Structure formats: structure tokens, C-alpha cells
Structure 1
């Protein structure tokens, strides 16, 4: 028997402005069943102030941005975690963009209600309004955050107003028949609670018509009282059906899919035939497989059969899958969709025909400095793609980097990747402790110091140093550090002493990125990559510039000599 799904109905109405663009935006998204079960449905409303010349852009961007990013967060994240991270990221973007516009801003009030399972989660900033109608009870769920300045009421604690964001969060049980109303501060002083109940209940079967009734009544009341009525909007959402109660057990997070059994070459699973076992570790299994229906060769990664459903690694395994699915970069391996529904917990990646960076370096001892720096630059772009999603890789080293048959770098191992969060650094270290730190890991991993993007910068720089010299930058490698006093023994060995082709500028860039003190490295990965390109460009550019001016002046001298000879002959 099929389980009941969450079902919603909704309606909307705008009062079209006569002289200016609307400053409000609203939307409801009901995703497909699988995503609905994981992330729920969402209703959002946004509103900016009338004096903001960018009001419409601010409202539209905040609504579209929240919906797009919320439904792109990992499926196993809690609603509060997903929405809070998305809103803080959106707030940072809006605030930074407002600093670069001459007029107006990207500041707006926003209320988002996420319906998941039998609960609703409200996230609120500013002065937008959210009400719930349950039976004859009409209750405001949001709080008005406003400031009075010179006789005008302005929203406070709004999205994009400050570099930090204070979010009102509340969680409430749902009942079938609940109706939620979303509107803006413009409606204040027009309709009473009894008006809302009457106009909605007049015919609640057609929510669009109910919204139109609210808009018409609000506009009429506003005009009767002598002020504008062209900025009203209403959105109604009704709970038509609730899903059945579900037991909250760990297996539910993983879609109730069992861990695959141990597989050997020749065995099949979901129409995938194992051709080679690529890796067996305590946490996972990696197989090269072939789809027997399409003939495609792929790589399957699955949790180890030895793990229990309560093992914390399973949550991280889903994070790996999310990274593969969401990171959009030609230098990060692509996720592959199976031709049949999955009956077990695993994910599929594109099979990369090639070799590890260690194998490539062994086979190409005569590779030029340009070739090696090109590989480092590609690897840096792959790591930057992870950082754009706030993901730390934590395991950059030559055996985790693939070079395909065309010389392109592909990052395909995410065993230790983790989200960059101050409150989750303990989990990050525990995860890396299971996988193991290596000679390219930053010193802070061994010493228990703060982690961040500069930790990946160190590992990238160490791998680049090794690629250019075949050596490591320090005699005492970071994975052998035992205390902070050992940092004093980390004396940088100039890359030029091992490879004379390395320029002084390149050596200086490596030295800075490999500083044992995380705060002294480049602030951003892009700065380090730029330093690598500039150091190489200076060498090549100098050769080009030295040849071209010489040829130019040689030509000028020749012409002048010819003119001189002609002048003597014509005398």
C-alpha cells in the first residue's frame, strides 16, 4: 500500500502598481516526490521598502535564490540546517552587492515556511507577515521587526541589511486543513482578523479567488482612508493531506537502502557488472563496473559492508554523493545516473581513463615546468570549485589526483571532504583521523588547530612543490608533528635548490602558501593560483618581449641605413 504524501494547494494575488514596479515577490515550490520527502515543500514571500529603487530586484532575487539553494542542499540535512546556511550565504551576497551599487540596495524582508512531513518550519527576517488560520482561530506566526525613522516605518533585521543575520526560527505541527497566509506590511491598517477569516472562508476551495477577495477588500479600505492601495499581495497555502507517521530511525536518512554486500569481479548488482575491485578500505568499497544494458563503464562507490546503519560514516558518505552531484567543474568527476532504480546504497561516477599524478610523474620525468604548473593550476581550479560550495577536501595528495589520457586533471576522491564550519571542526578532524593525514597535510591537522580553506591551500602547494621537485618542502613532515614546539623545526627548503628552472617568484609563492602558520598563507586560493601563473608568465613573457623589441629596432635601423645610402647616392 502506498504511503500518503504531503499535498498542498495554494493561491496568489497581486494588486498591480499603477506608477512603479512592484516591490514584493512570492512563490511556492512543491518538488517531485523523492525531493519532497527529503526536503519538503516551501512557500516564500519577500518585500522591500518603497524608497528602494532596487526593491523589485531585491525581492525577486531573495525568493529565487532561497528556493534554488535550499533544494540543492544535501538531502540528509535537517530543514533548519539547510535553510539557515542558505539564508546566511544569501545575506552575505546581498550585503556585499549593496556596497557596489550607487542607488538602492538588495535589502528585503523575507519569510519562508518549509513544510516537511507533518511539521512546518518558519524562517523570518524583517516585517513580512505570516498568519495561520486553523478552524476559526487566526494567529500571526511572524514577528514585526520595524524601526520608526522620521515618521516612516522601516524593516529591521532584514536580509542583506548587515553582514550578520539574525533569523527568527519556529517549528510547529501541522493539521490537515491548516491555511497559511503570507502578506506584507502594506496591508496593516486595512483588514481586521475577522475580515481575513470571513474572506478566506467565503469559499476556501478556490485559493486564488480568496486571495483576489483579500486584495480587492484591502485596496478598497485603503482608498477609503486616503492612501495608496497599489502594493498589496497575498499568498495562501492550504494543507490538503499529511503523510503518515514515520519512525525516525537511521535507515530513513539513507532512503531505507541497504549497504551492498561484498562484490567480486563478474558479480552483478542492479544491472551493474563488477569488472575490477579498485579499492577496499574499512569505510568503503570502490569498483569499476559496466552497465549490462548500456555498456557504459563507470565507478561505483559504496559503504563497507562491515559498517552498521548507525555508523557516522554513512552520513558522510551521503555528503560525498552530494559533492559529486552538485560541484559543477570540468576538473571534478561527474556523477552518473543508473539505468535502473537503485536497490542498494551507492553512487556512480564517470570512469576516468588515465592514471594517478604519482604514476604520471614517474612516467614523465622530463616533463617541462610549464606542463607541471598547468597540472597544478587545474588541480587548484578543482579545489576552488569545492570551496565555492564551502567544502574542504582535506586529502589533496598525488595519489588522489587523476590525469586522463588528454592530460586533464580530474579530482575523484572525496573520502575526507567536509563542510567548512567552526562548530563542526571536531567532526572534520575525526573524519580525517579515520582516513589518515599524510605528508602533504597542513600542520594544523596534526596539532588540532583551526582548519579552513588555507589548509587545502597548504596541501595543494605541497603537492605542487613535490610535482616540481620530487621532494617535500620540509624535512620534518607535518604528519609527524607532535606539538607546537615542533613547528620551529619546519625550515622551508627552497624549491630552486632541487629544480633550477623554478623562478624566484615561483619559489616565493610556494614558500608563502606552505607557511606553517595558517594565517600567514595567501588569503584566498585564487591569489596563490594567480601567483603561480604570474611566476610562469614572467619568464615566458620576458622571452617574448625581449625578442619582439629587438626585431623592431633591427628593422628601424635597417630602414635608416637604407635611407642614408640612398641620400649619398642621390647627391
Structure 2
């Protein structure tokens, strides 16, 4: 694919980068997004009042549709619960509204789990408030999220989810009921029934023309699957099909609710279309002092590598100093690299924490591929450590670790894994404050669910600090960042790496398995055994032994873990016993030598 050409013009007073006319003609974005048509209705049917509820999305922005998808929900109030109608209405409206409020970076499963847990907790508490007059807030629930090229569904109770594909109807959900006799059965699960709720869930790859049906048992118990199939295959609009289904169940003695969601178009872009969309902004050449780009004047270069360049620039509109980051020309035709660069800005815009560099949301139109960050006067942590005496004072080291841990917490709260935490990616400001400044290798579950024809590299971390698991094909999630933080902690307290310099030469998991943890106490006898055990647990290659969360590691680094203290006492006791027998052996050996010498004199 040809890229637009650049012309650089230099005048007497200033230097300005100018785009050539061919670029302005190639700004059209091709390809298409997921298109879903929905329709639904809930009626009382043969039972009054209507305890069912449905919720369809309204006014979903293009951004929300891409990153969150299309969410629909249906709930059926439990008949034996007096507040079933209130429960079903609350469950449906809260599910759709709150789902779209979850961070874009969260996966669909994590977002829905958070929302459903909150809904269940609220209904459970309401039920207990009215325990004396039996006003239980219980309902069944079926939710569907169509995102990118996948349908993800969530189900509790005996409402149902069907899929019509290629003329065949199949039930996807399972009824959570137990049959007592031919005419008697009871509901096993419902929202608000227990303090904790278990839901059935799954994912279905989408195909164009797929038609999903969510319905209450007022329809499924009174209309056969064959009749439902016939209606859904009829040449009617989606709205007409909803009306026909309701009419077919009109003699039901229950409330009747129907939601239809039809996939009209999949987000299928060709690789050329995708590349064109990502690379529609040209790369900047190497910039010189005095050059101006989109109203930003270059003051001086800050950093240059084979992958990216950083410049200190001044926003001429408000006289503010910022950092401009550009991709390297080496990757001008690498679509996967360009996608990661774009994602890096997206991640930064969503993290707001004093220990993470602030990415600037731009208000002006960009003519090149770059993004802006706040300017941080200071040095990277690795440069700072090189000037400090080793090992570092414990109080100073712990203070640094706390700041890094808090910054990582901001990532993990959004479900984002950093994957490349190292001293070179941490800035130390003149006042001692630390800030994480690079997240080009960050793993974002919500983005990983989006359709992409490009092959994604799982991680781009650094061997000395990155978890061997996700460097070699397995994403260990937050435990990967635990490994990196524990490695940095080890370095701060010893000036060395926990597995030595040979870790840089490892090219497979088998190579890592041959390495052995080097006790921090071999570098500094002042390090307590319990502290060394915490470091060892943090950098364990075995995920079943490593800490699950950053907070667990930090707690054991700041307060002695009783288990580790017990090991320390046991070791001391063992050493004392060993010392006793060593002394006794020495005593008897000396006694033997003396006796032998005396007998020799007499002889």
C-alpha cells in the first residue's frame, strides 16, 4: 500500500511540516462495523400484573458500539415473590445502563460479572428488608451482548435464549429448574435468591443473518419450537415477528416477553482496509529544533530508539511544554506495530493516577501519527539507581515500591496488565515522585475481544523483568506484573537480579526452569529471611506459588508473614541444634586427640 509523501519546507524564521495534496485524497475510511437490528415487547398475557421486563439499547454511540457492543436483556419476576415485577424491571434496566458505564478496557465477561453481582446483591438486600411480609425481590434473567464478531450471553433461571441459524433453531441456555412430577417443578436459581449468584454463560462466534430470541416461559411453554421457527423464518420485519410470536402465545396463562436481535452485518474488514484505516496518518521524519507540527514547536529531542522518538515541544496556543511521541520510520509498513502505538495512547487516556504519566487528549486535528504527554523533568529510575549506593536503604526502597504498586493498581483497576514494567519505564521526578511512562506492551482484555485480522503479539516485555510465561505464549494476567514488581524490589534491596544475569540468555521456558533463585541474603546479610521468602514467592516461575495480586506482595514485604516467620524460627532452631552437635563433635574430637597424645607419651 502506498503511503502519502511528505515535504519539509524551511523558511528564514521557522520550519513547518507540510503534507502533499495526495494525502488529502486518501482520507476515506473503508470497511464496515457490526450492524444489529433489535425489537421486543412485554405484555401481561393471561396473568395480571405483568412481572416481566425487557430492555433494548437506545442512543448507543459509535464508540460504545465498538468497545462495548449491543446489549439486550429480559427478566421474568418469580411468581411466588411479591416484588417480582420490581425485581425484573430493576435487573433489566440496571444491566443495560450499568454495562455501558463499565470501562472500555474491561472484557465483556468481567463487565457483566461486575454488573450482575451488584444487581443480585441489591435484590437480595431488598428481599431481606421485607422478609416479614414475604416481599421477595426475585427474577430470572437472560442477557445478550453482541460485540465485534462474538455473541456473549448470561443466563439465570428459566427464561430462554435461542439462536436461529441457517434455518435451524436451537436453545442455547439451560433451564435452571428441577422437575418434581409431570405438572410440578421448582426454580433452582434466580437473581436475588441467594447472597451469591451463579449464572450460566457462553460465547458464540457470529455469522451474518444470525437471529437471537430471548423469551420468558410465557412463550416457550405455550408455543412449540417448530412454530417459533416458522415465525422467525417468515418474510416479516423484526417488529412483525415480535407481534406474531406474542399473538401465538395469547392463550398463555402467564406474562409473555420477546426480544429479537438480528445480525445484519459483521465487522469484516479486509487486511488492506484495516491497514488503510490504521495508517491513514503518515509518520513524522526525524524532527529538528525549531520545526513545528500542528501548532507544536520542537524545543529539543529527549529520547530516540529503534521503536520510537520523544521530543520536548511547546504548544504555541497556550505556551505549555509537552512531550510528543512519534513512531519510528522503521515500522512505517508494520500494521501490528501501528495498532499497538494507537492502543498505547488509548490506554493512557483512560488511566488517571498521579503515579502514571498523563496523556493529553488533543483538541486539534492531527496531520501525523503521534500523541502527546505531560512533560516530566527528571531521570528514569534505572539512571537514578546507577547513581545511588547499593544496596539502597530499606526505607527509601519501600517508599519507591509503594509508589510503583499504587500506579500498577490504577492499571489493574481497569483490567489492564502492564506487561513491561522495568526501571527504564519509570520516571523519577526532582521531588522524588515516581511515574510509569510507557504502556506500549499493555494487555487490554476489552480490546483483545475486538475483531482484528492482524496477528497480535502477546507481549513485548523485557527478559530481565517480564514474566517468562507471557513472554512465551501465556498471559499470566496480574501475576505477570507481580513478577516484575518483585524483580524490581529484589534489585532495589540487593543491586542484582533474582535469577542472575543468565536470565537474559533464556529463549524458552525450559531455559527458565533450569535457573535457580538466588537468595537475597547472599547479597546482603541484613535482609531478614521472611523478606527474602516474600521476594522468592513474588518471582516464582510456578504460578500456583506466586502471589495473585500486587497487594499481597506488598503486604508481605512490609509486614512479616507469620508463615515465613515460622520458617525463620524453625531454621534458626535447626541451625541451633546443628551448632550444638557441631560443638559436641568438636569437643569429643579434641578430647580424643588429647587422650591419644597422652597414651602416646606413656608408651
- Output the TM-score relative to the length of structure 2: 0.64
CA drift of 1:375 comes to 1.6
Deviates more, 1:310-319 or 1:355-364: 355-364
Q: Deviations over 1:275-326 (max 9, x none)?
A: 2323333332333332221333322333222224444222322332232123
1:471 is matched with 496
Secondary structure of residue in 1 paired with 2:544: helix
Alignment pair present for 1:522 and 2:547: yes
Distance in structure 2 (CA, Å) of the matches to 1:216 and 1:519? 52
Structure-1 separation of matches of 2:154 and 2:532:
49
**1:272 to 2:296 alignment:** yes
For residues 162 and 297 of structure 2, what CA distance do their matches in structure 1 show? 53
- Does residue 300 of the first structure (1) align with residue 329 of the second (2)? no
Partners of 1:333 and 1:410 within 8 A in 2: yes
Q: 2:201 aligns with which of 165, 182, 196?
A: 165
Change (3 A) 1:523 1:62: same
Q: CA deviation at 1:340?
A: 0.5
- 1:28 corresponding residue in structure 2: 57
Q: 1:109 aligns with which of 142, 148, 155?
A: 142
Alignment of 1:51-62 (within 5 A): 55=88, 58-62=91-95
Q: Which residue of 2 aligns with 1:64?
A: 97
Deviation, 1:445, is 6.7
Corresponding position of 1:563: none
Q: Please list, as runs of the form range in 1=range in 2, the aligned pairs for 1:28-427 lying within 5 A after superposition.
A: 28-33=57-62, 38=66, 42-47=70-75, 50=78, 55=88, 58-69=91-102, 72-73=104-105, 85-87=107-109, 90-91=112-113, 94=116, 108-113=141-146, 122-126=151-155, 127-128=159-160, 143=172, 145-146=174-175, 149-150=178-179, 151-152=184-185, 162=198, 165-173=201-209, 184-188=216-220, 221=250, 227-229=253-255, 232-233=256-257, 249=272, 250-254=274-278, 256-361=280-385, 369-419=394-444
1:376 deviation in Å? 0.2
Taking a change above 3 Å as real, the CA distance of residues 448 and 90 of structure 1, as seen in their structure-2 partners, is closer
Residue 267 of structure 1: how far off its partner (Å): 1.8
Measured against aligned partners, the alpha-carbon deviations of 1:86-130 in whole angstroms (never above 9, x if no partner) come to 13663487479979969788973112345x7xxx86544544467
Deviations 1:128-185 (A, max 9, x none): 46799xxxxx997975643553334869999x975773234432159xxxx9986544
How far the C-alpha of 1:411 sits from its partner, in A, is 0.9
> Relative to 1, partners in 2 of residues 1:125 and 1:446: Cα closer, same or farther, differing over 3 Å?
closer
Structure showing greater relative contact order (alpha-carbon pairs closer than 8 Å, 6 or more residues apart): 2
**1:553 aligned partner:** none
Task: Please give the per-residue CA displacement for 1:325-381, whole angstroms capped at 9, x wherever unaligned.
Answer: 233433222221112022333332222233322344456659753332122012112
Moved more, 94-103 or 408-417: 94-103
Are the aligned partners of 1:45 and 1:183 in contact in 2 as well (CA < 8 Å)? no
Shift of 1:528: 0.5
Q: Give the one of 498, 501, 504 matched to 2:524.
A: 498
Report if the CA contact (8 A) 2:521-2:529 is conserved. Answer: no
Distance 1:392 1:264, change over 3 A: same
| Residue of structure 1 equivalent to 2:5 | none
Question: Residue 443 of structure 1 contacts residue 481 of structure 1 at CA under 8 Å; is this kept in 2?
Answer: no
| Separation in 2, partners of 1:61, 1:353 | 45
Quickly say closer, same or farther: Cα 1:23–1:360, change in 2 above 3 A. farther
Q: Structure 1 residues 431, 455: CA separation in 2 closer, same or farther (over 3 Å shift)?
A: closer
C-alpha distance in structure 2 between counterparts of 1:96 and 1:263, whole Å = 51
Taking a change above 3 Å as real, the CA distance of residues 251 and 443 of structure 1, as seen in their structure-2 partners, is closer
Distance 1:380 1:121, change over 3 A: closer
> Partner residue of 2:590?
none
* Number of aligned positions between the proteins: 492
Pairwise CA RMSD: 5.3
Look up the match of 2:463: 437
1:399 CA displacement: 1.6
Give the Cα separation in 2 of the matches to 1:155 and 1:109. 15
Q: 2-side partners of 1:64 and 1:244: how far apart?
A: 24
Q: What secondary structure is seen at the aligned counterpart in 2 of 1:172?
A: coil
CA distance in 2, matches of 1:218, 1:447: 56
Pair 1:533–1:167, CA change in 2 (3 A): same
Cα deviation, residue 396, structure 1: 1.9
The question of whether the paired residues in 1 share the 8 Å contact of 2:458 and 2:473 is answered with no
Distance 2:242 2:381 in 1: 64
Asked whether the 8 Å contact 2:42–2:258 carries over to 1, the reply is yes
Counterpart Cα distance in 1 of 2:186 and 2:276: 47
1:179-209 Cα deviation digits (max 9, x unpaired): 9986544344678879989xx98xx99x8xx
Residues in 2 aligned to 1:448 and 1:56: alpha-carbon distance in whole angstroms: 44
Q: Distance in 1 between matches of 2:468 and 2:266?
A: 50
Q: Report the 3-state secondary structure (helix = DSSP H, G, I; strand = E; otherwise coil) of the residue aligned with 2:346.
A: helix
In 1, are the aligned partners of 2:459 and 2:471 still within 8 Å (CA)? no
SS of 2:329's equivalent in the other structure is coil
Q: CA deviation at 1:460?
A: 0.8
For the Cα contact (< 8 Å) 1:259–1:344, is it kept in 2?
yes
Distance 2:468 2:535 in 1: 16
